């Protein structure tokens, strides 16, 4: 299994960067996890012979779904059949907008515990965030568990158990986290990684202008195998 960060920023992209988006590759298939601003073009640039087998939207804030609407225009022109799309139903005004494009075969994550998508098995877990959301665990030779936006919960820790990679949206340090916060700190992400027994912690959803050195240092205090994802770098799990 290979991974590429298509966009690591939130809630808006840095100059020259993109909002939340990730791709996982296995056996000639590509699975897309979130499609924030700037992700569609980057996805097209990394695809070689891989065929996209599905898209997962963890929740429906614009920095996680906006380019799915752009991608729908391409699919409407080029796809032979609708592409599987996994997303929460709420807010309905957004999920309906995506469903009404006709480009997607829509599956609501509220109604699923797991799903098969190409060579991958997807397992979902609810997140805690201002909008309903579902983290996705991608299994296919290796295992990548992507939290999307959430505070830490016992359910997420159990869902992430023994993953090869915990891909975690953790944009704050303990020193600059707002109160209340809808996101994890780097330290909380590292603590979850340690307790879940994962092999690696990859941190994403970076606020542009943040001190990434401080974020990484806080994570490494609790979990040494921590790193901040690098955009457009394809790597093996």
pLDDT of residue 180: 85
The pair of structure tokens assigned to 54 is: 């599905």
Question: SS3 string of 23-55?
Answer: EEEECCEEEEEEECCCHHHHHHHHCCCCEEEEE
Q: What is the pTM of this model?
A: 0.97
Cβ–Cβ under 8 Å, residues 185 and 218 = yes
Per-residue exposure over 71-101, b if at least 16 CB sit within 10 Å of its own CB, e if not? bbeebeeeeeebbbbbbbbeeeebbeebbeb
Query: Tokens 């568990």, residue?
Result: 145
| pLDDT per position as a tens digit, 78-128 | 999 999 999 999 999 999 999 999 999 999 999 999 999 999 999 999 999
Query: Tokens 């080029």, residue?
Result: 78
How far is residue 42's CA from residue 17's CA, in Å, rounded to a whole number? 10
Cβ–Cβ under 8 Å, residues 92 and 123 = no
Q: Domains in the chain, please, with CATH? A: 2-224 (3.60.15.10)
Which of 184, 79, 99 lies closest to 135, judged by CA?
A: 184
How far is residue 64's CA from residue 71's CA, in Å, rounded to a whole number? 13
DSSP string, 65-94: HHHHHHHHHHHHHH-SSPEEEEE---SHHH
How far is residue 8's CA from residue 17's CA, in Å, rounded to a whole number? 8
Q: Which residues of the chain have pLDDT under 50?
A: none
Cβ–Cβ under 8 Å, residues 194 and 163 = no
The neighbouring-strand residues paired with 137 are 123, 145
Question: SS3 string of 150-169?
Answer: CCCCHHHHHHCCCCCEEEEE
How far is residue 8's CA from residue 45's CA, in Å, rounded to a whole number? 16
Query: Tokens 């993109």, residue?
Result: 18
């Amino acid at each position: 299994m290979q991974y590429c960060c298509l966009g690591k920023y939130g809630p808006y992209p840095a100059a020259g960067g993109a909002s939340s988006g990730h791709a996982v590759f296995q056996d000639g298939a590509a699975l897309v996890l979130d499609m924030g601003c700037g992700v569609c073009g980057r996805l097209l640039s990394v695809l070689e012979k891989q065929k996209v087998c599905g898209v997962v939207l963890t929740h429906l804030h614009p920095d996680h779904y906006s380019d799915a609407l752009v991608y729908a225009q391409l699919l409407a022109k080029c796809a032979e059949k609708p592409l599987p799309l996994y997303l929460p139903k709420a807010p309905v005004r957004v999920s309906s907008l995506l469903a009404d494009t006709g480009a997607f075969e829509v599956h609501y994550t509220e109604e699923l515990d797991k799903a098969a998508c190409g060579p991958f098995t997807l397992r979902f877990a609810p997140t805690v965030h201002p909008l309903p959301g579902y983290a996705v665990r991608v299994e296919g030779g290796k295992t990548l568990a992507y939290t999307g936006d959430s505070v830490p919960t016992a359910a997420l820790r159990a869902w992430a158990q023994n993953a090869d990679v915990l891909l975690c949206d953790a944009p704050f340090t303990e020193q600059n986290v707002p109160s209340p916060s809808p996101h994890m700190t780097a330290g909380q992400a590292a603590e979850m990684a340690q307790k879940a027994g994962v092999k690696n912690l990859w941190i994403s959803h970076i606020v542009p202008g943040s001190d990434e050195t401080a974020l990484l240092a806080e994570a490494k205090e609790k979990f040494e195998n921590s790193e901040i994802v690098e955009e457009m770098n394809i790597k093996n799990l």
